[in-house]
Amino acid sequence: DIQMTQSPSTLSASVGDRVTITCRASQSIGNWLAWYQQKPGKAPKLLIYKASTLESGVPLRFSGSGFGTEFTLTISSLQPDDFANYYCQQYNSYLYTFGQGTKLEIK
């Protein structure tokens, strides 16, 4: 299995901050990576796929980058609605795996 490791597990930030979440794969996955946002009691919502392609309707303050084993999700200026859990998912192999999640909380 390809293991996905996110850091940090918890991130405290303020509205207006620029924040970055990192996702590392245990082996190269090319750019076959997606990012999701999940709020309490809700299903995950697709933000980014193919490492850097923004899903339709997702605000431009979200961006993704990376290739191979290291990837980042950046939010350029945090808004109140952005405080949530974030997950990465690889789809390079047929056994899809997710990161353990990053909780983005208000400082």
Total residues in contact with other proteins, by rule CB under 8 A: 24
Smallest separation (angstroms) from other proteins to the CB of 98: 4
HEC string of the chain equals: CCCEEEECCEEEECCCCCEEEEEEECCCCCCCEEEEEECCCCCCEEEEECCCEECCCCCCCEEEEEECCEEEEEECCCCHHHCCEEEEEECCCCCCEECCCEEEEEC
Does 92 interact with other proteins (rule: CB under 8 A)? yes
Residue 67 interacting with other proteins (CB under 8 A): no
Binding mask 9-38 for other proteins (x = CB under 8 A): -----------------------x-x-x--
d(CA 80, CA 62): 14
Q: Which of 46, 64, 69, 78 binds other proteins (CB under 8 A)?
A: 46
Task: For residue 95, state whether it binds other proteins (rule: CB under 8 A).
Answer: yes
**Residues in contact with other proteins by the rule CB under 8 A:** 32, 34, 36, 42-46, 49-50, 55, 85, 87, 89, 91-98, 100-101
